[in-house]
Amino acid sequence: MNERKYFGTDGIRGRVGEEPISPETVLKLGWAAGRVLGKGAGSKVLIGKDTRVSGYLLESALEAGLAAAGMNISLIGPMPTPGIAYLTRTSRAVAGIVISASHNPFHDNGIKFFSQEGVKLPDQVELDIERKMAEPIKVVGSAELGKATRFSDAAGRYIEFCKSVVSRAVSLKGIKVVIDCANGAAYHIAPSVFSELGADVIATADKPDGFNINQECGSTDLRNLTRVVIETGADLGLALDGDGDRVIMIDAEGQPVDGDQILHILAIARKRKGQLSGGVVGTLMSNLGLERAFEVEGIPFQRAKVGDRYVLNLLKQNHWILGGESSGHIICLDQSTTGDGIIAALQVLQAMVDQQMSLHEIKQGMHIYPQTLVNVRLPSDGATRTFDLDKCKSVKDAVDRAQTELGKEGRILLRPSGTEPVIRVMVEGKDKHQVSRISQDLASEVRAAST
């Protein structure tokens, strides 16, 4: 496959004002996407965003480019990424566009696309858009220019959809839930969903100001959520990320329940009901304990490359319905077309109610192997695209020595991030001290080799 200039594993992402997240490039992106994805004059595209202040700027640039290509635009405003996927599919739009950098800080932003089926675009279509961006903009005739309108009741429609995934026989009455909205796109969605289903909801990080998205909150910083869960005596907490497509949970004892544990809970619940339909897809980062737990249960398990698009592709190849990532991206294809933090959390709560167990109790079927992830930051000049780990002998030799030391009960994974200039060094095994030491040693090897 040809090297992609702009698109990474999850759309286009970077610091606002720097390429490719500049007004000029995003304007060109909107035009190119309109030309590639359009189905004739007047085709409709949805644009949604998270709560970053830069969303206004990028929304306007995309809108102008799409209109120049003859596309009509429906503006949604702040909305979780999976909500935009759902609305794209149900409103018969030709595409949906999300302006978000997910769990990144406010000074970053990104653009990702959904097809008319509500799934991420194939690699080839992203390549087609990039090729079109190399051409000069040609504006359609004045009579064919696109128009922009506001999408009415987008929030209400998505809230009702989320509620529909829980059986009508299930009530969340009597369950106290703390929801960390990450000051992001789900701030006006998630609390309503859970409270309307009967839960006693305490919302936190639900007052976005354009700058506080993911700031000491959300799925990448559980400290405040853990504190609130314990102080209020809540049954559980859930932490979304900035665009609402991932979730990490906290049990009543203040212990985290990550994406691997959520996958295990959902797989066992579906197996009990005869609804699993095959196996489960994880990623190269999925904990070895998840694989071992599924072996005990006789549930097939396969690993995809990191990125929910690759999890989805493998699910479709296998005709399976359940997959996800340790970071909390959980895909339930019997409910949604993409990872959805709210829906994943609702499925866990339904399993808890069905089995009359607390979150702490229901997570016990999986033992997590100690795992350490070290991010080795490289210069932000495309270094991760040119630094070839496979061709670096010193790093490869160090990995071979470490894997021999860990044996069959350990794993090592080194990979470049698809969204930032970072090499991720992951080590897991039975002994946490050994795992920590090896990960630091390997990170030092990578750091030395990349300078």
Q: Which residues are catalytic?
A: 102
The C-alpha atoms of residue 414 and residue 418 are separated, in whole angstroms, by 13
Strand ranges in 208-335 using DSSP code E only, listed in sequence order: 236-240, 247-251, 256-257, 280-283, 301-304, 322-324, 330-332
Distance CA 349, CA 358 (A): 9
Place of tokens 């359609």: 140
E-assigned strand segments in 175-313 = 176-180, 200-204, 236-240, 247-251, 256-257, 280-283, 301-304
- Prior bond of 191 cis (ω within 30°): no
Do 15 and 381 touch, CB atoms closer than 8 A? no
For residue 46, what are the contacts with CB-CB under 8 A and spacing of at least 6? Answer: 73, 74, 76, 84, 87, 88, 91, 93, 95, 96, 97, 151
Strand positions, DSSP E, 241-341:
247-251, 256-257, 280-283, 301-304, 322-324, 330-332
Please say whether the beta carbons of 84 and 76 come within 8 A. Answer: yes
